[in-house]
Structure 1
């Protein structure tokens, strides 16, 4: 269970509620939507991650006495708002794309329904989780797609802050990474962890042989030896000799990895170590992994590029009010509301979504209904699931389920989605009105 997440938010979330309480509009029935207007430039699809972390954050979004006192002392809240916050718990309902799902421009990734006050103050924490986790998962998906059946290891903890490191390891696992080097991700989320030794371990000892003997003696013959501290050829021969040809793996962390992997594979085979695997690291990204597909590489360790979203460290998700009642009455009808700002358009009304599939089960379109669910043509797949019902978390699930879901969703995409060259979204987003007619979709325009 997390400590309180209530102050992982922006100042203006609370001042909006304060002012809305004064105007009398704070507790009107409202619907907010978390969505992307576009994909990062050149990307063909995105991956939803952070759903489980967001549910944890909602559960922990409470204001204790010390927090309320701080807000009063700083004059951020007044007494009526302080009294309301002291008893705050989200009591509304939330629907969303489940973790691991693919998304496209305009996808209604999360729909939050409740009073304006209780829903609006979740904006910042939800966006901070979704924007980062989904950026990492989207990069990770491209990497695992290029790696194919060869495992990827997340090892970016030293390239970001300590909290983001845990989130990144979790998000990468959702998108197909096999393991992480981060132990807190293992403890908190059950992500499998792996690790052996760095160059400093070899440099600590009087000789490479002495270092390898200690590592093998401690971790067993199936360990992975880092062989490029000094001379690779000598290191490989030493590792094979010390294990009688049973060495688990070697790791290459510098140089021309494709050329070195080929040379080391030949050397290992000539020494009888035909089952010894070759792992590569060294600032890899999806393009380098793709370039190594023809090399005798058995696994990839990825750090900096992964935890920075491989050039797209945020997804640009936004959280907008899309419908609200005009009064506090329980049965007051909801009115669609939308922004008309240039390049920051939103679409009013409650959304429903499905993935349109062809006869082969391949994705053809993201279909979004406004005000009514779009018609299923027989084999389409609904995308929104219930996450919170009347304040109770109902959408929690094991991380392995999200990983399996991602593999299935990515397999539905057309082959063009997996190209590493820049391109448009792999499938179009179709916006339907309440009568089922296709309407103008601002998210489909490149300038948006």
Structure 2
């Protein structure tokens, strides 16, 4: 899907613009927020991912002749709105959590300052990027924790659509995966790539030995040989015979992995291949990775579970108007008040509260309180509770400027932005208490406090 991302949106974004133009309210200054009301089941924290990708898309968000012609033919909006869309480019300001940051329920991950029409038209794009990428990154982060320092490779391209495959590889890398099998993720985002051969390569040849020889001739003895096409132990004998004791690695893609890995390690050692690594694949997730913690596995390859968010393929984020200027020029906090979806109106300044050792203890959302308006009276949900007055614990500010007056901060885009997000994820996760890394069900590891 090439070209402008302008129509990767829901119809009602444009019909709202159309109606606001008619009413003369389209230029009211507004504050929008993207946030999650709750974390997916079993998650104790989330990881923000997709920001760098989103910034590139916002920079490209234009309604060209093709998009405008289709909207005209489909009678989606009237002629005046088409004229407005023809001149559209985002000129507002966006602050957000730095990509790779840990987040919790209520965290304003993105704060958009713009006239109503200019900000609302980005809603679907923002949510489609952040919801998927953050779901993948949050699942991947759990796998990284379960792996205990052993490297993981993302190899789920065949389990996602061709566009999601690339974005999932990027999100998993930000969350701590070491490499991906997806070449486009390597080209566009600078993610290291890996991969050698599938079972088809073995089956192509007259014998397993011939297949191993062909691969070693092409890639050298440091390659990884797939040894479970027929008989694992017979294949290990052949692999060491062909490549020698300096064979780089063997890969296991089937079987009862915990006992099989131990047998393979013993077998390799008996043949003098003591430095040959063992990598396992076979539909892994965070739970099977944790179950292999005591096994002599050297690395993991994860496919389906990571690209589908390990059971939570969307992060549940929403994009809401939280404040706007009225006709008199005063800022008015606004929030949805329906059952189960009550929000907190007003501009917010989030911070991570730390203890004396630098360990995170709370997500603190400071809510602006316009004079004469009690924005603190809104229902903040079950996870929100006030902090003690006079609490002087140190706090780390969480919002950074991403777009200023329509100009995207290019530090957060492309391969450089992806590498920066990966570094930031490592630093932010390091602040969390150890209970955050338990795989069992539990509440968010930090409370969200509104002040």
Q: TM-score, normalised by structure 2?
A: 0.93
Match of 1:379 among 394, 404, 410: 394
In 2: Cα distance, 1:377 partner to 1:189 partner: 41
Rounded to whole Å, the distance in 1 between the matches of 2:410 and 2:23 is: 35
Partner residue, 2:380 = none
Offset at residue 390 of structure 1 (A): 0.2
* 1:402 is the counterpart of 2:411: no
Alignment of 1:198-347 (within 5 A): 198-327=198-327, 332-347=329-344
CA distance in 2, matches of 1:53, 1:165: 14
Q: Secondary structure at the match of 1:396?
A: helix
Look up the match of 1:73: 73
- Could you give the per-residue CA deviations for residues 327-383 of structure 1, whole angstroms, max 9, x where no partner exists? 3x8xx2221011001111221100101100111111100000111799993632111
Q: Is the 8 A contact 1:363 1:412 kept in 2?
A: yes
Equivalent position of 1:144 in the other structure: 144
**1:379-425 deviation line (CA, Å, top 9, x unaligned):** 32111100000000026332111111111111111111000110000
Structure 2 counterpart SS, 1:222:
coil
Question: Could you tell me how far apart the structure 1 residues matched to 2:66 and 2:137 are?
Answer: 36
Rounded Cα–Cα distance in structure 2 between residues aligned with 1:246 and 1:41: 44
1:367 alignment partner in structure 2: 364
Between the aligned partners of 1:267 and 1:67, the Cα distance in structure 2 is 62
> Separation in 2 of the partners of 1:118 and 1:187?
32
- Unpaired runs of 5+ residues, structure 1, are 433-448
Q: Is the 8 A contact 1:387 1:396 kept in 2?
A: no
Report if aligned partners of 2:346, 2:369 keep a CA contact under 8 Å in 1. no
Aligned mates of 1:376, 1:298 — CA distance in 2: 46
Q: Deviations over 1:246-298 (max 9, x none)?
A: 10000000011111110000011111101000000000000110110110000
Q: Is the 8 A contact 1:132 1:313 kept in 2?
A: yes
SS of equivalent residue, structure 1 residue 133: helix
Alignment-derived partner of residue 3 in structure 1: 3
Query: d(CA) in 2 for partners of 1:170 and 1:352?
Result: 28
- How many angstroms does 1:325 deviate by? 1.2
Residue 42 of structure 1, CA deviation? 2.4
- Cα separation, 1, equivalents of 2:241 and 2:282: 26
Q: Which moved more, 1:210-219 or 1:363-372?
A: 363-372
1:46–1:102: 8 Å Cα contact kept in structure 2? Answer: yes
Instruction: Write out per-residue CA displacement over residues 11-61 of structure 1, whole angstroms, 9 at most, x where no aligned residue.
Output: 000000100111111110001000000001221000000000110110011
SS in structure 2 opposite 1:35?
strand
Structure 1 residue 3: deviation in Å? 2.8
4+ residue stretches of structure 1 with deviation over 3 A? 372-379
* Conservation of the 8 A alpha-carbon contact between 2:353 and 2:393: no
- C-alpha change, 1:55 and 1:134, in structure 2 (3 Å) is same
Measure the CA separation in 1 of the matches of 2:42 and 2:225.
38
Distance 1:141 1:7 in 2: 32
Q: Could you tell me which residue of structure 2 aligns to residue 355 of structure 1?
A: 352
**Alpha carbons 1:386, 1:395 under 8 Å: kept:** no
How far apart, CA to CA, are the structure 2 residues paired with 1:372 and 1:276? 62
Residue matched to 1:60: 60
Q: How much does 1:66 deviate?
A: 1.8
Deviations 1:67-124 (A, max 9, x none): 1111111111111111111110000000000110000000000000110000000000
CA distance in 2, matches of 1:311, 1:395: 33
- Deviations 1:216-266, CA, capped at 9 Å, x for gaps: 000111100000000111111111111221100000000111111100000
Q: Is the 8 A contact 2:5 2:57 kept in 1?
A: yes
State whether residues 354 and 393 of structure 2, in contact with CA within 8 Å, keep that contact through their aligned partners in structure 1. Answer: no
In structure 2, what is the Cα distance between the partners aligned to 1:107 and 1:18?
A: 31
* CA displacement, residues 113-164 of structure 1 (integer Å, 9 cap, x when unaligned): 1100000000001100000000000000000011121100000000010000
* Matches for 1:158-173 after TM superposition, within 5 Å: 158-173=158-173
CA RMSD across the alignment: 1.4
- The secondary structure found in structure 2 opposite 1:239 is helix
Matched pairs, number: 428
Residue in structure 1 matched with residue 382 of structure 2 by the alignment: none
Tell me what 1:435 maps to.
none
**Structure 2 partner of 1:438:** none
SS of 2:419's equivalent in the other structure is helix
Which whole-Å CA distance do the structure 2 matches of 1:235 and 1:255 have between them?
Answer: 14
Q: 2:411 is paired with a residue of what secondary structure?
A: coil
CA distance in 2 between counterparts of 1:54 and 1:420 reads: 30
Q: Spell out, residue by residue over 1:172-231, the C-alpha distance to the aligned partner (whole angstroms, 9 max, x if none).
A: 000000000000101110100000001111011110000000000001111000000001
Residues 352 and 372, structure 1, Cα contact 8 Å, conserved in 2 = no
Alpha-carbon separation, structure 1, partners of 2:95 and 2:278: 44
Whole-Å Cα distance in 2 between the matches of residues 48 and 191 of structure 1?
18
Out of 29-38 and 364-373, give the one that drifted further.
Answer: 364-373
